[in-house]
Amino acid sequence: MAVAPRSASGAWLLLVFNVPSKNPSARVEIWRKLKRLGALPLRTSGYLLPNTPANQERFEWVAAIIRKNKGEASVAQVTSFNGLSHETITHLFLEARNHEYQQLITALRKRRAHKPGQLAGLRRRLTSIAAIDFFESPLRKRVESMLDAADHGQNATSGRGRKGREFLNRSWVTRPRPGIDRVSSAWLIQRFIDPNARFVFAPDPRQFPGAIPFDMFTTEGFGHRGENCTFETLTREFSIKDRKVRAISQIIHDADLEDEKFGRQEGLGLDRVLNGWARQQISDDELLRRGIELIEGLYSAL
């Protein structure tokens, strides 16, 4: 279990404040902000957070809002509060996060099948809780596993995966100016399907007879199928079970289709980087090379 950093000035940040009672809307706004920050409420009007630079900045912003609403606020570094030991305060933070994780577990157990929008909402909620899980509650991994299982059950297919030598040492053709789905699909092909894959670009796959089309505007080869992007189609067709690939497929889906099915935001930045490179008029080969390196970096980081 992680613990808050100890320092000579104190392991905790304490925010004490008061807001005029005649301004109830401001009081509610401040309470909501503190709740989103994961601050621990005390019996007085004080709130605690672990002493980190990020939390210091967050408390200072809340203090500025309080003062703007004609209230008073102070942020202090403390070693303890009201005689509570470091371990006791840590336990109180864990209890608060455990309660929120347990709510997610209950929601996941209520129904055997969840709609895509419901799972996306639960995953967004998990991301919010994890951001303020300062002491790494063991329930977090349990919720992550349950969500992964729900996603896997939702997307399971009855078909057998494609295997064999027919997809080795081949040329693969896709449209020019590859975006995030085509770049990530090329990475997947090269890393898990055909290590010696060669990639060519054409608006029509018939320009390269014998090449395997992917993400083309035709029914040939591998592309969008149903609600799946090309990356997801390849993952399922070739029965790729890698856990990190499953996470990347969710990231690429949300960035490519923009339907927030999985509640993953990471791909939006990757997509913008690729679009920026494309505007620099670099070649398709160079754009693909850079994109593959980008996805490999994402895979390593997960």
4 has a pLDDT exceeding 60: no
Q: Could you tell me which of 211, 209, 202, 295 has the C-alpha nearest to residue 256?
A: 295
Whether 51 and 175 share a structural domain: no
Rg of the chain in Å (alpha carbons) = 25
Transcribe 167-217 into DSSP letters: GSS-EEEE-SS--HHHHHHHHHIIIII-TT-EEEE-SSGGGSTTPEEBS-S
Q: Which residue has the tokens 């301004």?
A: 23
For residue 163, the model assigns a pLDDT of: 52
For residue 127, the model assigns a pLDDT of: 85
Whether 53 and 92 share a structural domain: no
**Domains identified in the chain, total number:** 3
Lowest mean pLDDT among 49-58, 108-117, 174-183, 282-291: 108-117
Whether 54 and 91 share a structural domain: no
**Amino acid (1-letter code) at residue 243:** R
Domain termination site, one of 39, 66, 84: 84
Evaluate whether 17 touches 72 at the Cβ level (below 8 Å): yes
Provide the 10 A C-beta neighbour count for residue 190: 19
Whether 150 and 170 share a structural domain: no
Which CATH number belongs to the domain containing residue 77 in this structure? 3.30.70.240
Whether 47 and 91 share a structural domain: no
For residue 157, the model assigns a pLDDT of: 39
Lowest mean pLDDT among 23-37, 139-153, 166-180: 139-153
DSSP state of 228: B
Residues 219-242, mean pLDDT to the nearest whole number:
91
Strand order across the beta sheet in which 198-201 lies: 198-201, 171-174, 212-213
Whether 76 and 110 share a structural domain: no
Three-state secondary structure call for residue 76: strand
Residues 6 or more apart whose CB falls under 8 angstroms from that of 160 comprise 239
Range of the domain at 219: 165-301
d(CA 27, CA 228): 45
Q: Could you tell me which of 194, 178, 184 has the C-alpha nearest to residue 296?
A: 184
Whether 61 and 107 share a structural domain: no
Domain termination site, one of 122, 155, 188: 155
207 has a pLDDT exceeding 70: yes
Alpha helix locations (H) across the chain?
24-37, 53-68, 86-110, 116-131, 139-155, 180-188, 230-237, 243-257, 266-279, 284-301
For residue 81, the model assigns a pLDDT of: 77
Domain termination site, one of 26, 57, 84: 84
- Which of the four pLDDT bands, split at 50, 70 and 90, describes residue 23? confident
Q: Give residue-wise pLDDT tens across range 231-260.
A: 999 999 999 988 899 999 999 999 999 888
Q: How many CA atoms lie within 13 A of 225 on its CB side?
A: 16
For residue 8, the model assigns a pLDDT of: 39
For residue 218, the model assigns a pLDDT of: 80
Whether 67 and 111 share a structural domain: no
Whether 187 and 273 share a structural domain: yes
Kindly state the tokens that stand for 118.
Answer: 């419901």
Whether 196 and 258 share a structural domain: yes
Whether 285 and 225 share a structural domain: yes
Residues 63-91, mean pLDDT to the nearest whole number:
90
Residue 234 maps to a domain? yes
Residue 63 maps to a domain? yes
Whether 218 and 292 share a structural domain: yes
Residue 148 maps to a domain? yes
Give me the residues paired with residue 16 across strands.
Answer: 46, 74
Helix orientation angle between 243-257 and 230-237, rounded to the nearest 10 degrees: 150
Residue 110 maps to a domain? yes
Residue 48 maps to a domain? yes
27 has a pLDDT exceeding 60: yes
Q: Give residue-wise pLDDT tens across range 92-150.
A: 999 999 999 999 999 888 865 666 567 778 888 898 899 899 999 999 989 988 887 77
Mean pLDDT of the chain: 87
